[in-house]
Amino acid sequence: MTQAEQALQTESKVVERTDIRNVAIIAHVDHGKTTLVDGLLKQSHIFRENQQVGELIMDSNDQERERGITILAKNTAINYRGIKINIIDTPGHADFGGEVERVLNMADGCILLVDAVEGPMPQTRFVLQKALQLDLQPIVVINKIDRRDARIDQVLEWTQDLFLELATSDSHLDFPVLYAIGREGVAMYHPEDERRDLQPLFDTIIKTIPAPKVDVEAPLQLLVAALDYDDYKGKYAIGRIVRGRITPNSPVARINRDGEVSRQKVNLVMAYKGLQRTEVDEALAGDIVALTGIADANIGETIADVDYPEALPAIAISEPTLKMTFGVNTSPFAGREGKFPTSRQLRSRLYRELETNVSLRVEDGNTPDEFIVSGRGELHLSVLIETMRREGYELQVSRPEVITRLDEQGHVLEPIEHLVIDTKDTYIGVLTETLATRKAQLANMTSDGLGNVRLEYTIPTRGLIGFRNAFLTLTKGNGAMSSMLIEFRPWLGKIGTNRMGALIASETGTAVTYGLNNAQQRGDTFIEPGTAVYEGMIVGLNSRPADMTVNICKEKQKTNVRSSTSDIAVRLTPAILMSLEQSLDFINNDELVEVTPQNIRLRKRYLTQHERARMREQD
């Protein structure tokens, strides 16, 4: 028997840390997690009375505030009646499920938020399933009960059905239910109770979430669940101490995913207090801490006692379903607008993203200037592209493709998703027709009798590419949709595209009103007068299926016989300005999106008409 085994077989000193609770807040996107955390923070009095903190305090990332969603899981801590409550705010969008999977390991219980109108949605099922697999003790909060069309009893019944389906032990079915209005910062034991504050939720957390039972005298073990960085202290390795204790300036062993052990030294041990990290002299098992000094730390690795290095099980993350080709910008305008245009800089940035973005995969492409980037969905990848754009990178990206697998017989399998749509019943016809062309199959349809309907489909992931924008158009904005990967099934066959042809600039120059007016007689334009264009750039959508080249730089010829006011009469239809996600949805396989810090342009993969004709002949 080794010295390490002898040490671990000594009498265990398991104690219950009654001074601490670790809880994760999980829910579907837009069900109110971050708003509820705002209320918990404000009512725990961690801010000064005159401190201006605003709304959505935890959504500190620029894109999170602009998009109105949580992208990164975050930690905070509050004190309630002498007990420290570590709160983990998780994303609700399915594309960021990897963030949820890696941080739930730090919690002992979870608060499941369910919208009082929408009820359990696909991502509700996903996050609850992950939480119950880790045996987290649940608390259910039915949120937004003040909404006019709230159906509290129906939502509670749906939630109970979901627990019956997913529970792995009897204890999972014994959960308290609270009712809340997160925006007002109130929670109640019953919907008719007086609305005061969040004290019922605080009390339920203390009563229901189990205190950590840990051995503080055993050799140290900590699983790195998150990373952070600042310019002063360097990289932070964030995780929960599973056993033992840790102090600043102490030697530790870092065990990577391959089991290789290296000796490291912890500089600072920091605990959470509100939104701040504060230095502590010692942290014990059960605490969630951030360690500095371990520059090579990665998510899923173990920080252990230097004398007894024993690894914890690595965090299992679901595989990606979509891939895109990221490449160096090869347009005639390359290098004009970005600080980082080279393949070396692009490669370095993408592989650096792997340290923190656990759901992402990056491989070298067919050429030194291309990289295959795989992620959970369009939003997951577009957030990365937007982040890189804001950092000063120039790149070009291809249309998203699904990642397929082969079964034992060599048959191709593709990812299938569970799609849930809430809309008005007047749009059932157009949605059914559109989804049928995308190989979707209706699984369930329910109506509330008031004109609202919920449609549930199984649909291949590739059928969802580009559907979100079509959905908003078809329902005139009166609807919500969400989806979640369920399994891989045999390939369902070709999905046709209904997109018309592109209007392609025939020469390099500056778009003028006269040229754009001529182009608008053939379709819709995407650019405004004064925009710099190059040959092969997509400037609009043709009204016919075939691509067409147009000269939007063409000016009206000056002659002696023209009215002095003839040009004033030209009135252009406003250009269709597309976002990054809309651009990714729009392009075909022979097209690319050029992304720079200043512009998002659409282009053909082959810029000249001669190159495009030659490639068509080869096909």
Considering only CA atoms, which of 325, 312, 509 is closest in space to residue 401?
325
305 is in an annotated binding site: no
Considering only CA atoms, which of 80, 81, 135, 65 is closest in space to residue 105?
135
144 is in an annotated binding site: yes
What is the spatial distance between Cα 147 and Cα 157, in angstroms, rounded to a whole number? 18
35 is in an annotated binding site: yes
451 is in an annotated binding site: no
608 is in an annotated binding site: no
3-state class (DSSP) for residue 335: coil
274 is in an annotated binding site: no
Query: Identity (one letter) of the amino acid at 404?
Result: T
- Residue 320 in contact with residue 374, Cβ under 8 Å? yes
146 is in an annotated binding site: yes
What is the spatial distance between Cα 295 and Cα 369, in angstroms, rounded to a whole number? 29
What is the spatial distance between Cα 91 and Cα 30, in angstroms, rounded to a whole number? 10
Burial of residue 524 (CB within 10 Å: 0-12, 13-18, 19+) is middle
145 is in an annotated binding site: yes
Query: Identity (one letter) of the amino acid at 172?
Result: H
422 is in an annotated binding site: no
234 is in an annotated binding site: no
The length of the chain is 619
Residue 412 is inside which H or E element, if any? strand 412-424
Strand residue runs (E) in 217-331: 221-230, 234-243, 245-246, 251-255, 261-265, 269-273, 276-279, 283-284, 288-292, 302-305, 322-327
What is the spatial distance between Cα 494 and Cα 405, in angstroms, rounded to a whole number? 17
| Residue set of the binding site | 30-35, 143-146
| Residue set of the binding site for GTP | 30-35, 143-146
